[in-house]
Chains A and B, each alone.
Chain A
Amino acid sequence: MTYRFNVNNVITGSGISGNDGDIVVYNFKTFMKSASPSGPGWTVTRSGDGLAAFSSTGDVITSSGTGANGIGNTNSWFVLQSPNGSRQILWQRGTANSSWVILYSKGSLFTGGTASSRATATDAAVVLGSTTDPSTAAGSTHFSTTTKIVHYGADDTDGYSFYYAGYHQTTLATSAGGLYFDEVIPLDTNIDNDYYIFFVNAGNSTNEWTTQGLGAENSLANTFRVAAWLYAGTPFQTFGITPGAQWRSNGTNNVVIPGSISQNLYTLRDIAFPIFYCHRNGPVFTNTFDTVGFKGVGMYMMQKGNSLATASTMSINFLRDYIVIGDCVLPFNGSVPST
């Protein structure tokens, strides 16, 4: 694999009626479509601008603004398809630039759609939206409207994991929103045919990009959470919350990872740890799903071992190859992060 990057994008906050969320998503789409080595080389398979433009084969979204072919129109949408053609993810704008629906198709792929009606897929699952019904999910908050530093990263081969993530300029608050689509090493390598998780952040909580967000197990589809297919392809298959566990000592009392152990004192370097994703047996909420199980171990997004502030970098394999956002550690390109 090779991760490709577009980092240190300063997106000016423009308020709820502005377009900073539109810019984040538009720039993300542009990055994802770029052929390697500029980007990972995904394809927009269909799209609509929320007004009159529609394509069942390609991308009609040509600007981050409003009006014809803009992503800044209510109900504009597009579908990104992974380079191997196996998976599609749909973004649709809500009534504000901060508000989005995200749907995932793990194999059926999206069909249909019009300029202002998004496409559908028989296996569509709600990654972000105000209901768990892919056919009716309405936009939910995905970005803050504060000026933010946004980084994009994506693997151009292998499992095609990607992220867009950031933090507020100057304050470094993690409540900026974002998404990580990460590959996992699954429990059953040859059986689990959807070895991915989504860590979605809603742009409105200090828990975002933290262990609280990773580990939340009572979140609705319209807030921060980790979501994934569990036991895809079996009678037990469900798509829903699949928390990323933290590591504690003294029973469940003391958080050790993330953030409470020292640097590696042999090498005097920072350390990061993989994230184990599982849905435990326990109190079952009406808004969660019942199947429990162990999903797997995240491949690229990790948890910090020692305490580091947001926008710090780690040098694990080469200089500044990871960036810290909250409790999460994301692949980075060696640059000095903007703050």
Chain B
Amino acid sequence: MTFRFSVNNPYSITNTGQTHLYDFKQFMKSSSPTGPGWTVSKSGDGLAAFSSTGDIITSSGSGAGGLGNTNAWFVLQEPNGQREFLWQRGASSGSWVILYSYSARFTGGAAATRPSATDAVVVLGSTSNPATAAASSHFSTSFNSIFHFGANDADGYSFFYGGYAQSYITSNNNATACMFFDELQSGTYNDGYETDPRIIYIAGGNSSNNYNVASVSSNTTSTDVSRVVGFLYKGTIYESFGTISGLGYVVNHGNASAAGTGTGYACVPGFVGMDLFTKKDIVLPIFYARRGTDNVGAGGFKGVGKYLKYKATSRPYGTTISVVSHNDYIIMGDLAFPFSGGEAQF
């Protein structure tokens, strides 16, 4: 595998969201080595243009062929042709629906009506019903931002978009969109049983918990807030799609109750420091699991994420760290994202 990147993309407050996602779409469509080589399999501009076979979204603006029209949408299909994601713009540039089809793929649709898939599930939207899901806040519309795109051009086709406020306005950094579609590390899930070893971290534009362990580890049942989602026990009678918590590493500090549920203190992310052998930063894997009592579906262990990591030591947004190679990760919130090796801009 090779991660491909488009980093340090600046976005003004004008038309935020639609400009981010237009550039993201273009990046994802680019052939390796520029991008990962996904395909837009169908699209509609929310007005009159529609294609059941390709991409008619040709600009980030409004009007014909624009992603800036209410209900404009596109479907990205991974290079092996199996999985598809659909993004549809809501009534504002910061507001989106995101659906996921594991293998049935999206069919139908019209210029202003998104297609459907028999196995579609809601990644972001105001209901859990893919047919009726309405747009939810995804991108902040209150500040300029810097965004980075990354995607694996082979292997599990992981990808992400994420960023922070321009000019390093600290209070805004964690208030905008993020999506990370990550595969799981081989050997950490049920090889031979698990058919969708993937998780999706989705962060919306209305939460101060974005990019933080609070949202990654959330056990919410809501579909329009920041969280990790995925299938658990896909293909079995226990199958469910919904929140799967990315667990934090916690110690008791000596204050825990006998039942083990007493006050816990975060260890990872952020509190174990650098590697003092090598004087380098480290990143640590994220374990994904769901309790049976979380009311999402059957509980269980999903697996360990492959590319999205927790930071081990406290670092501010936009800090690049060198774990294996120079600047191969960038810190955003509590998370470490793969990075291009370059310098991050603010």
Q: Which residues of A contact B (CB under 8 A)?
A: 187-188, 191-192, 206-207, 210-212, 215-219, 231, 234, 236, 243, 245-267, 271, 273, 276, 278-283, 291-294, 305, 327
* B290 contacts A252, C-beta separation under 8 Å: no
The answer to whether B272 touches A243, judged by C-beta atoms less than 8 angstroms apart, is no
Interchain residue pairs A-B with the least CB separation, the first 5:
A249-B245, A266-B193, A218-B254, A247-B247, A215-B252
Distance in Å: Cβ of A147 to nearest Cβ of chain B:
23
A215's partner among B238, B248, B256, B275 (CB-CB below 8 A) is B256
B258 at the interface (CB under 8 A from A): yes
Q: Which residues of chain B are within 8 angstroms of A254 by Cβ–Cβ distance?
A: 219, 261, 291
Give the distance to chain A from B131, nearest Cβ to Cβ, in Å: 28
Q: Are B289 and A266 in contact (CB under 8 A)?
A: no
Cβ–Cβ contact A262 & B299, under 8 A: yes
Say yes or no: is B214 at the interface (Cβ < 8 Å to chain A).
Answer: yes
Q: How many A-B residue pairs have CB under 8 A?
A: 190
B126 at the interface (CB under 8 A from A): no
7 A-B pairs, CB-CB below 8 angstroms?
A206-B258, A217-B254, A249-B245, A256-B245, A266-B233, A267-B193, A271-B301
Given A219-B254, A252-B250, A256-B289, the answer on whether A282 and B276 have CB atoms closer than 8 Å is no
List the A side residues contacting B312 at CB < 8 Å: 294
Residue of A nearest to B287 (CB): A247
Among A266, A278, A293, A294, contact of B190 (Cβ-Cβ < 8 Å): A266
Q: Which of A212, A251, A291 contacts B258 (CB 8 A)?
A: A212
CB distance from B300 to the nearest CB of A (A): 5
- Determine whether the beta carbon of B247 is less than 8 Å from that of A327: no
Within 8 A of A (CB), among B284-303: 284, 287, 289-294, 298-301
Please give me the residue from chain B that is nearest to A210 by CB atom: B260
Find out whether the CB atom of B276 lies under 8 angstroms from the CB atom of A248: no
Is B251 touching A187 in the complex (CB atoms < 8 A)? no
Chain B: how many interface residues by the 8 Å CB criterion?
A: 54
User: Which B residues fall within an 8 A CB radius of A?
Assistant: 190, 193-194, 213-214, 217-219, 233, 236, 238, 245, 247-254, 256, 258, 260-268, 271-278, 282, 284, 287, 289-294, 298-301, 312, 314
A278-B301 CB under 8 A given contacts A246-B264, A250-B245, A256-B289: no
| Chain A residue at smallest Cβ distance from B233 | A265
Tell me the bound Cα distance from A247 to B266 in angstroms: 10
Question: What residues of chain B lie closer than 8 Å to A206, measured between beta carbons?
Answer: 258
Known contacts A234-B277, A245-B267, A280-B265; A217 and B289 CB within 8 A of each other:
no
Residues of B close to A281: CB separation below 8 A: 271-273, 314
Choose among B272, B274, B282 the residue that contacts A279 (Cβ–Cβ < 8 A). Answer: B272
Tell me the minimal C-beta distance from B254 to chain A in angstroms. Answer: 4
Flag if A293 contacts B272 (CB, 8 Å).
Answer: yes
Q: Which of chain A's residues have a CB closer than 8 A to the CB of B238?
A: 265
Task: Out of B258, B267, B298, name the residue touching A243 (CB < 8 Å).
Answer: B267
Q: How far is the CA of A254 from the CA of B213 in the complex (A)?
A: 13
Q: Distance (Å) between the CB of A31 and the closest chain B CB?
A: 31
Q: Does A251 lie within 8 Å of B276, measured CB to CB?
A: no
Interface centre among B268, B290, B301 (most CB of A within 10 A): B301
Please report the C-alpha to C-alpha distance between residue A191 and residue B279 in the assembled complex, in whole angstroms. Answer: 12
How distant is the Cα of A273 from the Cα of B271 in the complex, in angstroms? 22
Knowing A278-B268, A282-B271, A293-B273 are in contact, say whether A261-B299 is a contact too (CB < 8 A): yes
Rounded to whole angstroms, the CA-CA distance of A267 and B277 in the bound complex is 41
